[in-house]
């Protein structure tokens, strides 16, 4: 080996020290997974070389077959993994092997539960698979040189996983990376060709480049030692190019874990080959759990893009809409040129056609999951439901299809679980019901007990209860489903249509006429606080509620805009009162205008509180209430 220069000892990032401690103490329930992780990283390095070589062919340094080699030395108790991919510079090594980007490890540590089996699933989720080497090794060495750099700029990284690592500059003739694992005592089973071969076949058979192991050949003439030959132990063909009938579920699952760096099996997948006007293959997966950066819309996302089986882009965002950013997979096209770039992807009409077809395929896959595996779909909705709610605003063409996949809580449930589909709702609708009723609010308890639901309970009409912050925004884009329009039960003048009998409507009109004087008195007392005062047809038990104007922002949207510092348009609520409630009857008979005004304001503030709003003047409310209590106690 060449002489080492510029040698220095550096400390790991604080979180990495904690992570290494966990690794060394067998966080994984299955130790052999370390090889899968290192092979996946090597495969990514080769893919990155292919990508960069499209514009810089000199990075291939004269060509040579791209491959991964795994070898072992029983006497030295080492396992070595080598690739001729993109390689790493000194800076790359310090950045990638001494720290973890962003706050990945810190988030990883926060999510640990103490259950080894459960915690092991987090490792892939947070992209820290390299450190799995320390499960079986008490020392790890990395020899690397980035493609395009001179041989004198190779780098040697070494660590025993005890809080620090050494980095030195070396001569390295070949580009790429070689990792040497010095096995712990008791882990010698991995320094065995048969064992390594079985692990590779089990976890990495799908890798689309050769993974080679040494085999003993006959001794060369004049030599006692056998000559070293290499044999490919995996299929080395792109999984998505093979016929579906030849691929086992286990192979699909392992390929997902490779491309997604996940440790759990996917919920579902769809493998498809399109021929005709467009020619491409796709393999799409629905993950079982959400990544930690799901709600960071600017986070890296997208499918792996291949053109005629040549890797082009790791995260091609142009093939699926943003609300499906959690989908993992591969798309391989014969219709795109190899010099494809991000700018071309955004403008090419072929991409638009592929995006439309792939989006429908994902939605079909989710429909199938919801129909055939309802329990699995519940898990999917818990993880990705809020992201799916972005769909109707982003994807007008598939709005109805997306709406069918949405799930809501309703007045028929007791626990607030979002499990009711719109199809379920309509199947239970009352005879003559031509609308889908819903109510938004900050919490399930608040909307479940809202006075706005009183008339619906009386008539046995189901109402959807929407409590996610995104829900009011969602409903502004959902106008109807299956020909039935959506109605916010807290907005405008409630019309139950055919669900109200002619007798009920006539009786309500007559009551409203008899209370015209009371309406005027309350409007005068509340003044600028309200836009309108009217007799309510929604209430059976409560004295009053506040309704929202048809064109006004709801409380949820107002709070979101205010929290983000945006100016909120002025709007005033509609005050509705229940003419048969004892408090309203008492108010109607009140002779003192001062006392009438105090009571009207108290009822208004109580209605605001019941709607989940905050009071504009809490001190005035307390003062009026205390005054009333004193009068009652006298």
Express each pLDDT in 297-330 by its tens digit. Answer: 677 778 888 877 767 777 788 899 999 999 999 9
Start-end of CATH 1.20.120.790 domains in the chain: 502-550+558-633
pLDDT > 70? residue 215? yes
DSSP string, 294-353: TT-TTS---EEEEETTEEEEEEEGGGS-GGGTT-EEEEEESSS-TT--HHHHHH-HHHHH
Q: Exposure of 265 by Cβ count < 10 A (0-12 exposed, 13-18 middle, 19+ buried)?
A: middle
CA-based nearest residue to 111, from 290, 243, 232: 290
Residue 119: count of CB within 10 angstroms of its CB: 17
Sequence ranges of the chain with CATH classification 3.40.50.11260: 420-499
Q: Inform me whether the pLDDT recorded for 17 exceeds 70.
A: no
Span 420-499 CATH architecture: 3-Layer(aba) Sandwich (3.40)
User: Which stretch of DSSP H or E encloses residue 497?
Assistant: none
CATH 3.30.230.80 domain extents, the chain: 239-374
Query: Above 90 in pLDDT, residue 277?
Result: no
Whether the pLDDT of residue 621 is over 80: the answer is yes
| pLDDT of 182 strictly over 90 | yes
Tell me: domain 239-374, CATH 3.30.230.80, correct?
Answer: yes
3-state secondary structure at position 68: strand
Residues 6 or more apart in contact with residue 103 via CB below 8 angstroms: none
In what helix (H) or strand (E) does residue 451 lie, and over which residues does it extend? none
Q: What is the model's pLDDT at position 191? A: 94
Averaged pLDDT for residues 532-536: 89
**Residue 484 DSSP SS3:** strand
Token representation of residue 608? 């605001």
For 153, which DSSP code? G
Contacts of 549 (CB under 8 A, 6+ apart): 491, 492, 531, 571, 572, 573, 574
Q: Per CATH, is 5-232 categorized as 3.30.565.10?
A: yes
- The confidence score (pLDDT) of residue 126 equals 40
The tokens 């139950």 sit on which residue? 496
Q: How far apart are CA 599 and CA 544, in angstroms?
A: 12
Q: Point out the least confidently predicted range of 45-59, 429-443, 552-566, 582-596.
A: 552-566
Residue 218 has pLDDT above 60, yes or no: no
Tell me if residue 510 falls in helix, strand or coil: helix
Kindly write down the DSSP assignment for every residue of 278-299, as one continuous string.
S-EEEEEEE-SS--TTTT-TTS
- Look at residue 109 and tell me whether its pLDDT is greater than 60: no
Does domain 502-550+558-633 correspond to CATH entry 3.50.50.60?
A: no
Find the mean pLDDT for residues 602-608.
90
336 near 310, Cβ under 8 Å?
A: no
Q: What is the average pLDDT across 428-453?
A: 89
Higher pLDDT, 63 or 57: 57
Tell me the Cα Rg of the chain.
33
Confidence of residue 343 (pLDDT cuts 50, 70, 90): very low
pLDDT at 104: 41
Please determine, for residue 266, whether its predicted confidence score (pLDDT) is greater than 60.
yes
The pLDDT assigned to 18 comes to 65
- 63 contact partners, CB below 8 Å, separation of at least 6: none
Count CB atoms within 10 A of the CB of residue 344: 14
Contact (Cβ atoms closer than 8 angstroms) between residue 405 and residue 363: yes
Question: By the 8 A CB rule, do 583 and 603 touch?
Answer: yes
- Helix (H), strand (E) at residue 557: helix 555-563
CATH 3.30.565.10 residue ranges of the chain are 5-232
Q: What percent of the chain has pLDDT over 90?
A: 38
CA distance 231 to 70: 10
């Amino acid at each position: 080996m060449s002489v080492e220069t510029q040698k220095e000892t550096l400390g790991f990032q604080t979180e990495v020290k904690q992570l290494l401690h966990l690794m060394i103490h067998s966080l994984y329930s299955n130790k052999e997974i370390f090889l899968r992780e290192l092979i996946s990283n090597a495969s990514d390095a080769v893919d990155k070389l292919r990508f960069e070589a499209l514009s810089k062919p000199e990075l291939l340094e004269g060509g040579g077959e791209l491959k991964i080699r795994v070898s072992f030395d029983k006497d030295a108790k080492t396992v070595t993994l080598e690739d001729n991919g993109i390689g790493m510079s000194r800076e790359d090594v310090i950045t990638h092997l001494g720290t973890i980007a962003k706050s990945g490890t810190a988030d990883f540590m926060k999510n640990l539960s103490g259950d080894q089996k459960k915690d092991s699933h987090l490792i892939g989720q947070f992209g820290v698979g390299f450190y799995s080497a320390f499960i079986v090794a008490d020392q790890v060495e990395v020899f690397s040189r980035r493609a395009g750099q001179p041989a004198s700029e190779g780098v040697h990284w070494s660590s025993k996983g005890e809080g620090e690592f050494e980095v030195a500059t070396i001569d390295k003739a070949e580009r790429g990376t070689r990792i040497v694992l010095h096995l712990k005592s008791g882990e010698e089973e991995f320094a065995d060709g048969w064992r390594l071969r079985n692990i590779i076949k089990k976890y990495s058979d799908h890798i689309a480049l050769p993974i080679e192991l040494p085999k003993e050949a006959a001794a060369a003439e004049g030599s006692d030692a056998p000559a070293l030959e290499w044999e490919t132990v995996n299929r080395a063909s792109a999984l998505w190019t093979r016929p579906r009938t030849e691929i086992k579920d286990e192979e699909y699952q392992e390929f997902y874990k490779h491309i997604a760096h996940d440790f759990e099996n996917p919920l579902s997948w769809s493998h498809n080959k399109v021929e005709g006007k467009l020619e491409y293959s796709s393999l799409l997966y629905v993950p079982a759990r959400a990544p930690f950066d799901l709600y960071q819309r600017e986070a890296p996302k997208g499918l792996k893009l291949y053109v005629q089986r040549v890797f082009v882009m790791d995260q091609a965002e142009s093939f699926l809409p943003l609300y499906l950013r959690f989908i993992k997979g591969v798309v391989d096209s014969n219709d795109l040129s190899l010099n494809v770039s991000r700018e071309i992807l955004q403008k090419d009409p072929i991409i638009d056609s592929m995006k439309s077809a792939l989006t429908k395929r994902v939605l079909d896959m989710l429909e199938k999951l919801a129909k055939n595996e309802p329990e699995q779909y519940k898990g999917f909705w818990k993880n990705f439901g809020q992201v799916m709610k972005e769909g109707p605003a982003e994807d007008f063409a598939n709005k109805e299809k997306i709406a069918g996949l949405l799930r809501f809580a309703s007045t028929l449930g007791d626990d607030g679980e979002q499990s009711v589909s719109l199809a379920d709702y309509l199947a239970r609708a009352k005879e003559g019901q031509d609308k889908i009723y819903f109510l938004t609010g900050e919490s399930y308890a608040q909307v479940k007990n809202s006075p706005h639901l009183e008339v619906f309970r009386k008539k046995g009409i189901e109402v959807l209860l929407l409590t996610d912050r995104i829900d009011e925004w969602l409903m502004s884009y959902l106008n109807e489903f299956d020909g039935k329009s959506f109605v916010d039960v807290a907005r405008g003048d409630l019309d139950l249509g055919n669900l109200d009998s002619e007798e009920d409507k006539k009786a309500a009109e007559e009551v409203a006429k008899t209370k015209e004087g009371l309406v005027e008195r309350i409007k005068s007392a509340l003044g600028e606080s309200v836009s309108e005062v009217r007799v309510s047809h929604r209430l059976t038990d409560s004295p009053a509620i506040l309704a929202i104007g048809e064109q006004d922002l709801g409380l949820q949207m107002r709070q979101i805009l205010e929290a983000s510092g945006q100016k909120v348009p002025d709007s005033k609520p509609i005050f509705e009162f229940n003419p048969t409630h004892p408090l309203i009857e008492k108010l109607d008979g009140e002779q003192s205008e001062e006392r009438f005004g105090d009571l009207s304001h108290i009822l208004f503030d109580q209605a605001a509180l019941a709607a989940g709003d905050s009071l504009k003047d809490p001190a005035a409310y307390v003062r009026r209430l205390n005054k009333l209590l004193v009068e009652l106690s006298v």
